[in-house]
């Protein structure tokens, strides 16, 4: 097992996995508590449009997919805020549109298919140095947002109380949506577009079952997210199976354990 | 010496699309008053409260608190007790964290010793000593109202806004709460504005009653505002015989 750590691709995958696991779990706590889990799934699929656009233009896909998906997330937040449509409807509209763009662009040249497959299912072999830099950049942005935890948690608890205390709740909504989008895209190389939402939802859901406070939920979710990513990546290497699915299987196992040991069950 | 104005609304209108929620509301509340707001469902009571909190911007008109435009009033001057029914019970939190959020105006991660002591004191004040380490999800409606009240009082507000605060409380809890509100007002000179459906409570505890049905139907001391004529204009009928005892000792603001 330990010899795997000497392999450069495994080092990159582990580093990306740890960073993405921590970031997705941190932001996922807000996503789950705000009942926006579908947003993660929608943004993951929206990333397909961004990845396809990157491949089509000949740029590193993540560098195009991140701004593309952030733009989709901001549009979703804008439509949700400006119309009577529910958040799920807004997600549904833009996620379908992005997937449609992705399919059309991918169909233009058949040599994209293998690359697209990597993004759909995730692969530890596929995390290159450029991807790692993208993940590190998003991790820095997420770290910079940590001082806003108290504000975001307050608005998550009760938007009206936070607004009455003059917190910039709406601006924070956009910021959170943009950051979630960036993290989701940065995670697709590790877990894949199809499973990225689970990365955002499973550790926070497990932590929520065990913790009594929102701060406790946040810390525990990050721990579970990192542990799931590391264990999943090692298992994927050991059994030569797709990394995304393995990470999600480990995190699902942790969720089942949390369900069994939850004080409420 | 002139009495300070706590609330001043001038020609305030609020519309939601084509639907008027408040029309031409003019209101001046002196500092230290205990105002009960009554009116039928859809009368704009909660809208009025949200206008005072800055959550809803009037379509027309001016709002001033303590002589200042709303945006220049420090948030710590206002304590707000929402209806407990709005609480998301799935949010993992302890009662003491909710109380400290009133002080910090952020959700607390780690509680500082000073915050913990202040929160315990605020909880003791509302007779919620044993609630501090309880999960919000496990509190009864009455307990939750006490915690929300402690959250509002911990910042020692000059204006206390309450949205049906007695909901979920038993008779003794309700009596306790009114005693506490009156004591806080006497001690600090704070102004209290409370939405209620309980005419008796409005009559016995408030120094002024605002009868609202999108417009101000009546405003003044309870015996002048709670007249058959006002109630009929607001509700379309007089719901019950309001043979309410007059308590002159409370008519002091």
Does B200 fall in a domain?
yes
In a domain, B79, yes or no: yes
DSSP-derived secondary structure for A148-198: GHHHHHHHHH-HHHHHHTT--HHHHHHHHHHHHHHHHHHHHHHH-TTTHHH
| Half-sphere CA count of A236, side-chain side, radius 13 A | 27
Sort out which chain A residues have CB atoms less than 8 A from B98's CB and list them: 157
What's the CA gap between A188 and A123, in Å, rounded?
A: 9
Q: Are B66 and B73 in contact (CB under 8 A)?
A: yes
The DSSP secondary structure of A229-248, one letter per residue, reads: HHHHHHHHHHHT--HHHHHH
The mean of the pLDDT values for chain B is 89
Backbone angles phi, psi at B195, to 5 degrees: -85, 135
- State the best of B109, B134, B139, B148 to mutate against chain A, taking most chain A CBs within 10 Å: B109
Instruction: For residue A177, give its domain range.
Output: 2-261
Q: Confidence class of residue B199 from pLDDT cuts 50, 70 and 90?
A: confident
Predicted local distance difference test score (pLDDT) of residue B247:
46
Closest residue to A215, CB basis, from B75, B91, B110: B110
Closest CB to B54 among A151, A164, A212:
A164
Q: Rounded distance, CA B229 to CA B226, Å?
A: 8
Nearest to B62 by CA among B51, B53, B73: B51
Which of A150, A158, A217 is nearest residue B106 as measured by Cβ atoms? A150
Instruction: Give me the DSSP letters along B115-180.
Output: HHHHHHHHHHHTT-GGGTTSBGGG--HHHHHHHHHHHHHTT--SEEEEESTTTT--HHHHHHHHHH
Region B95-106 average pLDDT? 96
How close is the nearest chain B Cα to the Cα of A226, in Å? 21
Residues in B closer than 8 angstroms to A208, CB to CB, are 92
Mean pLDDT of B151-169: 92
In percent, the amount of chain B with pLDDT more than 90 equals 67
- pLDDT for B58: 96
Using CA atoms, how far residue A7 sits from A1, A132, A247, in Å, is 11, 15, 19
> Looking at residue B94, what DSSP letter applies?
B
Quick check: B16 pLDDT over 80? yes
The whole-angstrom distance between B243's CA and the closest CA on chain A is 38
CB contacts, 8 Å: B109 with chain A = 149-150, 153, 215
Which residues of B fall within a CB distance of 8 Å from A151?
A: 106-107
ipTM of the complex: 0.88
Total domain count for chain B? 1
pLDDT for res A51 = 87
Sorting pLDDT into bands at 50, 70 and 90, what band is B166?
A: confident
**Which of B79, B81, B91 should we substitute to test contact with A (largest number of A Cβ atoms within 10 Å)?**
B91
Which range has highest mean pLDDT (A33-47, B60-74, B193-207)?
B60-74
Helix (H, G, I), strand (E, B) or coil at B13: strand
Burial class (CB in 10 A: 0-12, 13-18, 19+), A33: buried
Considering the domain boundaries, does residue B13 fall inside one?
A: yes
CA distance A165 to chain B (A): 5
Helix ranges, A34-112 (H): 37-57, 61-82, 87-108
For chain A, which residues score pLDDT lower than 70? 1, 110-115, 124, 264-265
Give B-chain residues touching A211 at CB under 8 angstroms: 92
Facing B107 at nearest CB: one of A150, A164, A208: A150
SS3 state at B26: strand
- Which residue from B75, B87, B90 is facing A166, i.e. has the nearest CB? B75
Half-sphere exposure of A230 (CA within 13 A, CB side): 13
User: How high is the pLDDT of residue B252?
Assistant: 47
A140 three-state secondary structure? helix
pLDDT of residue A1: 66
Cα-based distances in Å from A249 to A84, A242, A244, B222: 37, 11, 9, 66
Structural domain including B49 reads 5-88+157-250
Of B233, B214, B195, B219, the closest CA to residue B59 belongs to B214
CA distance A152 to A172: 7
Q: Token match 């991790």: residue?
A: A139
Number of domains in chain A: 1
More confident residue, B107 or B172: B107
d(CA B189, CA A148): 35
Q: Is residue B34 part of a domain?
A: yes
Residue A204, both tokens: 């926070």
Contact B92/A164, CB-based, under 8 Å?
no
pLDDT tens for each residue of A57-94: 888 888 899 999 999 999 999 998 888 887 788 888 98
| Three-state DSSP state, B189 | coil
How many Cβ atoms from other residues are within 10 Å of residue A205's Cβ?
Answer: 22
Token code pair at residue B117:
């002591």
The residue-averaged pLDDT of B56-73 equals 95
pLDDT at A241: 86
For residue B72, the chain A residue with the least C-alpha distance is A166
CATH code for the domain in which residue B62 is found? 3.40.50.300
Q: How far is A148 from chain B (nearest CA, A)?
A: 9
Is residue B109 domain-resident?
Answer: no
> In the structure, what pLDDT confidence band is assigned to residue B200 with cuts at 50, 70 and 90?
confident
Strands lying side by side in the sheet with B68-69: B19-30, B5-16, B60-65, B68-69
Residue A30 tokens read as: 């807000």
Q: Please write the tens of the pLDDT for every residue from B22-37.
A: 999 999 999 999 999 9
Give the confidence band of B84 by pLDDT, cuts at 50, 70, 90.
confident
Residue of B nearest to A33 (CA): B91
- Within 8 A by CB and 6+ apart from B95, the residues are B123, B128, B131, B132, B133, B134, B135, B136, B139, B143, B147
* Contact yes or no for A210/B92 (Cβ under 8 A): no
Q: Is B212 left (phi over 0), alpha (psi -120 to 50) or beta?
A: beta
Which tokens hold the place of B225? 């505002």
What confidence category does residue B2 fall into, taking pLDDT thresholds of 50, 70 and 90?
low
CATH value at residue A243 = 1.10.3470.10
3-state helix, strand, coil in chain B (%, to 5): 40, 25, 35
Partners of B28 in beta bridges: B8
Measured from the Cβ of residue B1, the count of other Cβ atoms closer than 10 Å reads 3
The whole-model pTM stands at 0.89
| Token reading at B213 | 């049905």
């Amino acid at each position: 097992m330990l010899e795997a750590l000497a392999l450069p691709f495994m080092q990159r995958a582990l580093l990306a996995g740890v960073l993405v696991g921590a970031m997705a779990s941190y932001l996922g706590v807000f996503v789950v508590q705000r009942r926006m889990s579908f947003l993660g799934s929608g943004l993951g699929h929206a990333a397909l449009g961004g990845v396809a656009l990157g491949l089509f233009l000949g740029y590193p896909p993540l560098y195009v997919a991140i701004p593309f998906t952030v733009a989709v997330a901001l549009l979703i937040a804008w439509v949700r805020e400006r119309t009577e449509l529910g958040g799920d409807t807004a997600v549904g509209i833009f996620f379908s549109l992005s997937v449609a763009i992705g399919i059309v662009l991918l169909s233009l040249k058949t040599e994209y298919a293998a690359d697209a497959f990597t993004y759909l299912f995730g692969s530890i072999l596929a995390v290159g140095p450029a991807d790692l830099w993208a993940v590190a950049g998003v991790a820095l942005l997420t770290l910079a947002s940590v001082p806003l935890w108290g504000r975001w948690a307050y608005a998550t608890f009760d938007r009206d109380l936070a607004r009455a205390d003059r917190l910039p709740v709406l601006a924070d909504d956009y910021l959170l949506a943009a950051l979630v989008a960036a993290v989701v895209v940065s995670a697709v190389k590790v877990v894949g577009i199809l499973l990225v939402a689970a990365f955002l939802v499973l550790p926070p859901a497990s932590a929520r079952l065990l913790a009594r406070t929102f701060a406790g939920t946040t810390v525990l979710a990050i721990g579970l997210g990192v542990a799931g990513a590391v264990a999943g990546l090692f298992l994927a290497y050991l059994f030569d199976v797709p990394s995304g699915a393995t990470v999600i299987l480990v995190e699902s196992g942790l969720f089942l354990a949390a369900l069994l040991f939850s004080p409420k069950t | 010496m002139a009495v300070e104005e706590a609330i001043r609304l001038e020609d305030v209108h609020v519309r939601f699309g084509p639907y008027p929620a408040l029309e031409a509301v003019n209101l001046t509340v002196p500092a230290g008053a205990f105002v009960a707001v009554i009116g039928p469902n859809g009368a704009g009571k909660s809208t009025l409260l949200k206008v005072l909190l800055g959550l809803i911007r009037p379509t027309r008109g001016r709002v001033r608190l303590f002589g200042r435009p709303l945006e220049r009033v420090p948030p710590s001057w206002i304590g707000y007790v929402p209806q407990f029914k709005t609480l998301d019970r799935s949010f993992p939190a302890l009662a003491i964290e909710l109380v400290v959020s009133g002080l910090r105006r952020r959700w607390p991660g780690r509680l500082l010793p000073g915050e913990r002591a202040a929160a315990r004191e605020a909880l003791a004040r509302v007779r919620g000593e044993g609630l501090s380490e309880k999960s919000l999800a496990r509190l009864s409606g009455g307990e939750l109202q006490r915690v929300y009240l402690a959250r509002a009082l911990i910042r020692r507000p000059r204006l206390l806004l309450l949205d049906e605060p007695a909901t979920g409380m038993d008779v003794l809890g309700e009596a306790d709460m009114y005693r506490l509100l009156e004591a806080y007002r006497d001690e600090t000179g704070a102004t209290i504005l409370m939405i209620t459906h309980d005419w008796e409570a409005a009559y016995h505890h408030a120094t002024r009653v605002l009868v609202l049905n999108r417009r101000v139907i009546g405003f003044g001391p309870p015996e002048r505002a709670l007249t058959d004529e006002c109630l009929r204009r607001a509700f379309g009928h007089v719901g019950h015989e309001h043979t309410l005892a007059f308590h002159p000792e409370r008519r002091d603001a």
